Structure 1
Amino acid sequence: MPQRPVPLDEYPVHQIARSMRHVASGDRNAYDRSIFQVFDHEGRALLITGLGVYPNLGVTDAYATLLQGDRLIAVRASDALGEDRMRQQVGPLRIEVQEPLKRLRLVCEPQEPDPDGADPDGDEASSLSFDLVWEADFPAVEEPHHIQYTGDRLFLEANRFCQAGSCHGVIRAGGQEITVERGRFTATRDRSWGVRPIPGEAPGRAAEEFRAEGFHWLWIPIRFEDRFVMVILQEDADGYRTLDSAVLVHPADAGRPDEQLGRAHVDITYRSGSRHPESAVIHLTGADRKPIEIHAELLGGSPLAVGAGYPPAGDWQHGEWKGRGWLDRRTYDLADPAGLGLAAYGVIDHAARFTWDGATGYGIFEHGSFGRHNPSGFTGFDSVAP
C-alpha cells in the first residue's frame, strides 16, 4: 500500500527525511505522551490525566483518574492511531493546545445516559467528566536526557520537559461538582517522548541475566508563588545516580535565568512497616553555596498503576492494543491494597504542601522505591521501614 503524507507534513517540523507519519526509531517501544496533575491545596481531590501515542504499534490511548479519599475513579480509552497527530483525542478524553507551552484545555466528556436510565458500569465511574483550562505560570524546564540499559541493550531513552501552573474549570463525579480555581488548586505537567518499554515484548536473555536489584525514583515539581523548583533523581540499589537534577525557575517576565541547586539529597520519613512516604526534607544548595531546605507534607497519593496504566498495572497498560474504540470506566477502593495486587505498590503521585524559608508552595512528590536501596536502609524487595 502506498504511503501518503499526513496533515503534520504541512508544517516545517521534520526531523528526518521521512513523512511525519514515521518516527526516527523503528523500535516498537517508541512513544510520545503527556501527564497532567491537578489538585487542591487541602488534599481533597487529585486529578491525573494524560494521553499517549505509540507510532510503531499504531496505538493511541488516554486516561483520567480522580482521587478523593480512598476512592479512585478511572476512565481509560484506547484506539487505532490515526493520521492527524495534532488532534489529541481518544474516546471522551482530549487535549487541546490553545497556545503552545502556555495554555491547554483538558476535557473528559460525560458518558451518554443509558436510554433505559441504567448505569452501564454499575458505579460512579460513569459520571466522571471535566472541562479544565491549564495555564502555565512558569516557563517549561527541560529535564536531563534519560537513558537506561538492560545489559547492552538500550531499553529507555527519553526526553522530557516539566511545567507548573494553574487550572480553572469544573470536575464532576458521583453527583458532585468541584470548582477548580486559581489560588486553591495547583497544576503540574510532564511531556516526554522517545523509547520506553511497552507491554507485549519478550524480555529476552539480557532482562533475565541483568535484573536490577533495586530502583529508587523521585520526581518533584514544586510551585511557589514566585518560583518553581524541579527536582528529579533516579538511583540504583547502591545509591548510584543515573538521573540527577535540581533547578530553580523564575517567572518568564522576571528576566532571570534558571539556577542549578546542586545535588539534591532527600530525607524521607516512611510509615512504619511500609515504603509509604509521609513527609520529606529536600536538601539543596543555592548559587551562593548556602544550604536550602524544603520541607514536604504529603496530602494524599494516587498510584499510577491503578487506573492510569503505568506498570505494573494488571488490567491495562499504556500502548497495549485493546481494539478499536475501547473504553473502560471503573472505581477502585484504595483502602483495600490487597485487592489491587502489585499495582498498589508502583510509583505513586502524592499531592504535597512544601515550605521553604516561610514560603508555602504546592506540587507533586512522585515516589517509587523497589528492591534494595542502601541509602534508605532497604535490603531487598521485602524490606520496609522499621
Structure 2
Amino acid sequence: MPVDRPVALDEYPIHQAPLSMKHLVSGDRNAYDRCIFHVFDHAGRAVLILGLGVYPNAGVIDAYATLRIGDELLAVRASDALTDDRMNLSVGPLSIVVDVPLKQITLRCAPDSDDPHGLSYDITWTAEFPAVWEPHHIQRRGDRLMLEGRRFVQAGNVTGTIRAKGEEFTLTAGEWSGTRDRSWGVRPIPGEEGGRAAEEYRPDGFHWLWIPVRFADRFVMVIAQEDADGHRTLNEAVQVFPEDSGRADVQLGWPHTEIRYRPGSRHPVSAVVHLTDPSRKPLELGVEILNSSPLAVGAGYPPAGDWQHGTWQGRGWSDRRVYDLSHPAAHPMAAFGVTDHSARFTLDGQTGHGIFEHGSFGRHDPSGFADYSSVAP
C-alpha cells in the first residue's frame, strides 16, 4: 500500500482546508477539475477542440483533441492514473503547459509515428482580454446536487501549427482565434446508478447557449440555460475590454436569442442575440455559423457511446480514430448532446469570431419544440 506523504504543492500557502493538496474536501465521486480550448480559423475550414481533466476521487486524468475538417473529425484521446504531480498537465501524446498563468499557454499533441496523416499540433494561446467569471452553475435532480461548477472564460489569439491528413495549417493571430473555459466542482461521470432521481425527475427539456466572441477591441460573453418551459436558470451577457484600456466590464442585459435552424433538425444556421446596453439601447449580436463539431463525437461529452470523461480505461490508454460526419444519421446520439459551432459575429458595425455552443433537446416552448422528437420545420 502506498505511503501517505506530503506532495510538492503542500509546500505553498494555498490550502483551503486542513488536508493535503492531493486530497479533495468533497468525497463526491463526480468531483472534477478541467479545461476546454477552442481553436478555429475565421473562414470556417477547421475547428480544433481540446481539453484535459482530472477526477480526483476516481483517480483518473484524461485528455482529448478533435479536429473538424471537411466531413471528417479526427480524434485523439488519452487516459491514465492520476498521480500526485498535479502541475504535470499531460496524458499520452496530449499536453498543456501554463507558461504564464492567465496570459500564455502552450498546447501540444505529439505526432503518431504509425499514422503520419494523423492529428498533431503545437500551439501558443495568448490572452488578449482578462479572464472573466461565469455565473456559479448549480443543477439539481430532485434534491440531489448533480452539477456545481466554478468557471471562467477567456479569449485570445493563437499561433503555431496544426497537422492532419497530410495538410498543415499555419495559425496566425489575424486569421485564427482561441477561446478557453476553466471549470471545477462536481459534474456527472458515467458509472453511477441513477436510482430514484433518474426515474422520477427526468427533465422534459434542456436548452443551452454558451457564446464567447472575440472582437478586435472587446470580448463578449453570453450564456443562457433554460428548462422546457423557458424558465432561465443561468444567465449572463457581458462585454470585457483589454486590461490596459482602463474600461470596466459592461453588462448587456437579459439576452434573447432567435435561432434559424436547418429544416428537419435542431442544427443552427444563423441567429440573432438581442442584448441591451446600460442606457437601455438595444443591441443585436448577429451569428453566422461557419463550422460545427459535436462534443458527443470524439470529445468524450455525453451521450458519447465509445468514451466519456472520467471513466477508467486502464493505465496508459490512448486512442486515435476518424469519424465520418457526412451523414448526420451515422451519429444519432450527437443530436442529444451539445455542439460547438465556430461562427462569424457582428455587433455595432464590427465583425468578430467565436463559438456558438448550443444544445437543445426535449421540449422547449419558446422555440416551439414539443418533445424529444421535435425538429425545426
Q: Say if 2:335 and 2:361, in contact at 8 Å, map to a contact too.
A: no
Q: Which residue among 267, 285, 293 is the counterpart of 1:276?
A: 267
Q: Provide TM-score, normalisation by structure 2.
A: 0.98
The letter for the 2-side match of 1:134 is W
How far does residue 112 in structure 1 lie from its aligned partner after superposition? 2.7
Distance in 1 (alpha carbons) for counterparts of 2:169 and 2:24: 40
Map 1:352-371 → 2, pairs under 5 A:
352-371=343-362
Q: Say if 1:306 and 1:344, in contact at 8 Å, map to a contact too.
A: no
1:244 counterpart SS class: strand
Distance in 2 (alpha carbons) for counterparts of 1:337 and 1:305: 12
Aligned length in residues: 376
Q: Tell me the alpha carbon deviations over residues 78-99 of structure 1, each in whole angstroms, 9 at most, x when there is no partner.
A: 0000110011000000000000
Distance in 1 (alpha carbons) for counterparts of 2:160 and 2:282: 39
Distance in 2 (alpha carbons) for counterparts of 1:263 and 1:371: 23
- Closer/same/farther in 2, CA of residues 213 and 344 from structure 1, 3 Å limit: closer
The letter for the 2-side match of 1:5 is P
The letter for the 2-side match of 1:107 is R
Unaligned runs of 5+ in 1: 114-118
1:205 counterpart SS class: helix
Distance in 1 (alpha carbons) for counterparts of 2:14 and 2:121: 32
2:60 aligned partner: 59
How far does residue 337 in structure 1 lie from its aligned partner after superposition? 2.3
Q: Which residue among 226, 233, 237 is the counterpart of 2:228?
A: 237
1:81 aligned partner: 82
Q: Provide TM-score, normalisation by structure 1.
A: 0.96
Map 1:342-357 → 2, pairs under 5 A:
342-357=333-348
2:331 counterpart SS class: helix
2:5 counterpart SS class: coil
The letter for the 2-side match of 1:240 is H
Q: Say if 2:344 and 2:351, in contact at 8 Å, map to a contact too.
A: yes
Q: Tell me the alpha carbon deviations over residues 26-82 of structure 1, each in whole angstroms, 9 at most, x when there is no partner.
A: 100000000000000000011000000000000000000000111100000000001
1:110 aligned partner: 111
Distance in 1 (alpha carbons) for counterparts of 2:109 and 2:9: 25
How far does residue 343 in structure 1 lie from its aligned partner after superposition? 2.8
1:42 aligned partner: 43
2:292 aligned partner: 301
1:266 aligned partner: 257
Unaligned runs of 5+ in 2: none
Distance in 2 (alpha carbons) for counterparts of 1:90 and 1:293: 42
Distance in 1 (alpha carbons) for counterparts of 2:370 and 2:175: 41
Q: Say if 1:217 and 1:369, in contact at 8 Å, map to a contact too.
A: yes
RMSD value, Cα: 1.0
Question: Is 1:199 equivalent to 2:200 in the alignment?
Answer: no
The letter for the 2-side match of 1:133 is T
How far does residue 344 in structure 1 lie from its aligned partner after superposition? 4.8
How far does residue 340 in structure 1 lie from its aligned partner after superposition? 2.0
Q: Which runs of 4+ in 1 moved over 4 A?
A: none
Q: Say if 1:73 and 1:128, in contact at 8 Å, map to a contact too.
A: yes
Taking every aligned residue pair, what percent have the same amino acid on both sides?
Answer: 67
Distance in 1 (alpha carbons) for counterparts of 2:5 and 2:247: 45
1:104 counterpart SS class: strand
1:167 aligned partner: 158
